[in-house]
Amino acid sequence: MRMKIDETLCSGHGRCAKFAPNVYTLDDSGYNADVGQIIAVPSGEEDNATKGRKACPERAITEVDG
């Protein structure tokens, strides 16, 4: 599973990392540290990654194929 973090939409709510700290990392300001990137979800973390995606108030996280 891979997740794309939208660079312009992420506004630093920090919610994604609450649900999936092993998937999403925050910078010191509380923004997703991987904005503009596609990140690979470690196996076993798929559920948490999805919860984190759904919890994002900006809908900045999308699942991408492959």
Task: Provide, rounded to whole angstroms, the least separation between the CB of residue 32 and ligand SF4.
Answer: 4
3, 5, 20, 23: which one contacts ligand SF4 (CB under 6 A)? 5
23, 41, 49, 60: which one contacts ligand SF4 (CB under 6 A)? 60
Q: Which residues touch 44 (CB under 8 Å, ≥6 apart)?
A: none
Q: Residues in contact with another protein, total (CB under 8 A)?
A: 21
- List the 2-5 sheet strands across, edge first: 38-40, 2-5, 61-64
Contact indicator for 56, 14 with CB cutoff of 8 Å: no
For another protein, the binding residues (CB under 8 A) are 9, 11-15, 18-19, 26-31, 51, 54-59
